[in-house]
Structure 1
Amino acid sequence: MTAPHDLLTAHRRLKGGALVDQRAPLGVDGFFQPRRAAFWLFLFFLANGVFSMVSNFYTGYRVVPTAVVFATLLWALYAVPFLLFFRSLDLFEQHPPLGFAMAFAWGGFAACYLAIPVNSAVESISAKLFGPQFTADWGPALAGPINEEILKLLGVVVLIMIARTQFRTILSVVVVGAMIGLGFQIVEDLLYSVNTAIQFPYTNQIAPVGLMFLVRGVITGIWSHALYTSVSAFGIGYFVTRRHEPLIRRTSVAVGAFAPAWSMHFFWNSPWMQDVGGGGVGGMVVLSLVKGLPILAAGYLMWKLAGREEGTQIRAVADHYLDDDLMTPEERDALGSLHQRRHLRTHMRRAHGRKAARTLHRLQRAQLHLIRVCEENGTGIPAARAAQDVTALRADLAATHTPATTGATATPNAG
């Protein structure tokens, strides 16, 4: 039972809009690790990538300044909903903002910087061996999947080496892979936009950027690098989190997850089905759907598998450590699902208003944090403090109910 003075302390800690005490549990590494070689390896490639990309954009700015500024703003806004979505999928909130920023930066700068010369080298070799026409048709399908997928996945490995204990679930690795892929996708699209505008320096500089945004953002953006890298990261997540499994099995899953990611990228870049849908924007949309929907379906299955594993872990930890006054059976079932958590908040908003729904959101965050603390440290002082936050927020949620509903359960059933 939580003492009244403990509840008062928790309320004071949560006052001012803080969702929950977000200090990492004991034994969880941060992403700032200057004593580890992987950290400096990350900084080395990031610095080179930033210098290379900024130089490219500065060169473009001197030719088409309006296009560069407009494209930068447009693609930055385009990235925001994806960033928020991937952040919401990190159920245990294991990764601080620095981790997501580093993942995005690796994809956008380090991986792009390394991929440009390597892709050119592969296409040059292909042209010498098979001829220019073959390279024009199949060069992107050969260079992109091999080089880019490996370079992006290398970022996942480097980040795991930097913050080793941050990655306790498969989904925590998948989310970072998606963020790396998103960084690569946004910067690559920005490069394409600027380079297209440079080809028409004396015309309307907005039109080429808008065209590239339509093609690479609206029509094809969903099934792109963020999806590929999240799929390949699933195998790395399995390898890292399943240490009790035989090495051969963990390695097989890692290779097996990379194979569909490579295949997705290869299938998309290949000239197969180019005649589907005919020409024009309509034909491009049809071709995109025909090639993209199977890719999206495969990626969805991998995400769902990773999320199911996370939900199972949430329920197991909650059943072992927590009583029903901290987390009801309905809440345990719902916490592992983004859809179910939103369903509960929607039900709460309709029944008791927006303030109650916001309080329920904070309660869900606090409960996930409590599970994370219990998993790391057991029932020690950090868990007791996290439990105080849950109890305080549950009291706040009960206070938002109208007098007619006093005595009703604080959190509605998902049904």
Structure 2
Amino acid sequence: MRSTDSTITDEGADAPETHALLTRRTDAIEESGWGNRFHLFQPRNVCLWIYLLLLAMGARQLYELAAPTAGVFAEANLAAVGSAGVFCLVFLLFLHHADRYERTPALLAVTAFVGGGIGAPWAMALSGNGALMNLYAKSFGQAWATDWRAGLSAPFVEETAKGAVFVLLLGLAPLVIRTVYDGLIVGAYVGLGFQVLEDMLYGQQSAYQSFGIHQVDSVLQTFVLRSATGVASHAMYTALFSAGVIYLVGTRAQPRRIGRGLLLALTAMVLHGVWDSMPAVADGNALGVILLMVLITVTSVVVLFVALRWGARRERGWLRDVLAPEVANGTITEVELLAVAGEREHRRRDRKAAVSGRSDGVTRRREKHVLAASLDLAHDLSTGKGQDTPQVEHSRAEIHRLRGR
């Protein structure tokens, strides 16, 4: 047995049920990859050198574009960085909340964000979009290209560029990125980096178009518009596309589901294409554009929740296996386990049951903290590979403290 639970009595430790629970915990941690660390510097991994090459190429292109006008449009640049940073912070808080089963390593999140913000747009998408748009203009005429080139170039070029960064990360972190849920979260970080840099570019361009007059106002107007329509965004598209990649290639923890993979990847590209083609699809009608905007946003959210539901099934099963021995040793209750790891449609009911059935002297607020601390305990157990590490003992003690024991 790889791990033992010091809080289970000797009689309980000898029980077949307890051994079975601990074995299932160990198997769940091993299969899910929870608690595995991410190491970026892997000199024998070709994915690292391709990733660094993309960063170098992207950084050079970005410098060549920004440096000549940096002094003249300094106010616009600062406003673009500040406004994009606010949007980034809000989205990061959302990702932190969504990443509830096993936290994405911070270094992996930063690597994904930087790759999506510098490598994907400047080393690949910018030149790819330009080449494809020129091809459309030469083949179908300038008028047709003006209406449709954005919607028929960005989905193919930008989604595959961001997808390429995600594939590199998959090669660098095969022990961490194992599930559809991992694909959704890491892909969202890649897309968020792309979107933040793109928002900065659009903000600067708005200042250029106004010939440098009222630079901050121009940038902020662009920021408000893009933030208001930011639900259907690169972060969401790339999350769906990356989840599709996981389904297509398969991992140790996720068998191949080619149908689901194609559905998610193509849906991301279609939503992106229709969004960029809204004026042409609506034939310039303002009301039509608004209706399309609402339709795409709602569809994006629905598809995202479907993907999260698909990905969460395995995560919830592993979470139950990791925490089940904690019910046996009395750290948490069965109702609390269901409240933390149950089905989505039942989790709110079970959480209310846990709060209403709390121990004497335990407030509703404290019981909610117990549920949050239970997730922290699962993270510590995964990091310690099921062993009774000091972090695990601290998490158990914190739950007991919250109960007032």
TM-score band by shorter chain is 0.7 to 0.9
Q: How far is 1:304 from its partner?
A: 2.6
Instruction: Write out per-residue CA displacement over residues 187-228 of structure 1, whole angstroms, 9 at most, x where no aligned residue.
Output: 11110110121121242112221221122111x111111111
Q: Does 1:159 align with 2:169?
A: yes
Instruction: Write out per-residue CA displacement over residues 242-266 of structure 1, whole angstroms, 9 at most, x where no aligned residue.
Output: 54887xx544443332111111111
Which of 265, 275, 279 is the aligned partner of 1:258?
265
Partner residue in 2 for 1:119: 129
Identity of aligned residues (%): 26
**SS of alignment partner, residue 167 of structure 1:** coil
Shift in alpha-carbon separation, 1:172–1:369, aligned structure 2, 3 A: farther
Give the Cα separation in 2 of the matches to 1:332 and 1:311.
10
Q: Does 1:58 align with 2:58?
A: no
Which of 310, 313, 322 is the aligned partner of 1:308?
313
Partner residue in 1 for 2:377: 366
Q: Does 1:134 align with 2:124?
A: no
Partner residue in 1 for 2:13: none
Give the Cα separation in 2 of the matches to 1:285 and 1:244.
41
Instruction: Write out per-residue CA displacement over residues 137-191 of structure 1, whole angstroms, 9 at most, x where no aligned residue.
Output: 1101111000000011111111111111012322112100011111111111110
Give the Cα separation in 2 of the matches to 1:296 and 1:204.
36
**SS of alignment partner, residue 328 of structure 2:** coil
Partner residue in 2 for 1:295: 300
Please tell me whether the aligned partners of residues 113 and 192 of structure 2 are also in contact (alpha carbons under 8 angstroms): yes
Q: How far is 1:317 from its partner?
A: 4.1
**SS of alignment partner, residue 257 of structure 1:** helix
1:160-179 alignment runs, 5 A limit: 160-179=170-189
Q: How far is 1:127 from its partner?
A: 0.7
Shift in alpha-carbon separation, 1:363–1:292, aligned structure 2, 3 A: closer
**Which AA in structure 2 matches 1:365?**
D
Please tell me whether the aligned partners of residues 103 and 179 of structure 1 are also in contact (alpha carbons under 8 angstroms): yes
Partner residue in 2 for 1:396: 401
Give the Cα separation in 1 of the matches to 2:244 and 2:213.
47
Q: Does 1:149 align with 2:163?
A: no
Please tell me whether the aligned partners of residues 180 and 247 of structure 2 are also in contact (alpha carbons under 8 angstroms): yes
Please tell me whether the aligned partners of residues 33 and 162 of structure 1 are also in contact (alpha carbons under 8 angstroms): no
Shift in alpha-carbon separation, 1:236–1:291, aligned structure 2, 3 A: closer
Shift in alpha-carbon separation, 1:244–1:212, aligned structure 2, 3 A: closer
**Which AA in structure 1 matches 2:151?**
A
Give the Cα separation in 2 of the matches to 1:319 and 1:347.
19
TM-score (normalizing by structure 2): 0.79
Give the Cα separation in 2 of the matches to 1:363 and 1:176.
24
Give the Cα separation in 1 of the matches to 2:268 and 2:240.
6
Segments of 5+ residues of structure 2 without an aligned counterpart are 8-32
Q: How far is 1:61 from its partner?
A: 2.2
Partner residue in 2 for 1:326: 331
Q: Does 1:87 align with 2:92?
A: no
Q: How far is 1:341 from its partner?
A: 8.4
Please tell me whether the aligned partners of residues 322 and 378 of structure 2 are also in contact (alpha carbons under 8 angstroms): no
Partner residue in 2 for 1:413: none
Partner residue in 2 for 1:411: none
Partner residue in 1 for 2:30: none
Q: Does 1:34 align with 2:58?
A: no
**Which AA in structure 2 matches 1:394?**
I
**Which AA in structure 1 matches 2:328?**
D
Give the Cα separation in 1 of the matches to 2:233 and 2:150.
14
Partner residue in 2 for 1:189: 199
Give the Cα separation in 2 of the matches to 1:191 and 1:111.
14
Moved more, 174-183 or 319-328: 319-328
Alignment length (residue pairs): 368
Please tell me whether the aligned partners of residues 171 and 237 of structure 1 are also in contact (alpha carbons under 8 angstroms): no
Give the Cα separation in 1 of the matches to 2:80 and 2:349.
34
Partner residue in 2 for 1:45: 54
TM-score (normalizing by structure 1): 0.78
Moved more, 223-232 or 344-353: 344-353
Q: How far is 1:284 from its partner?
A: 5.9
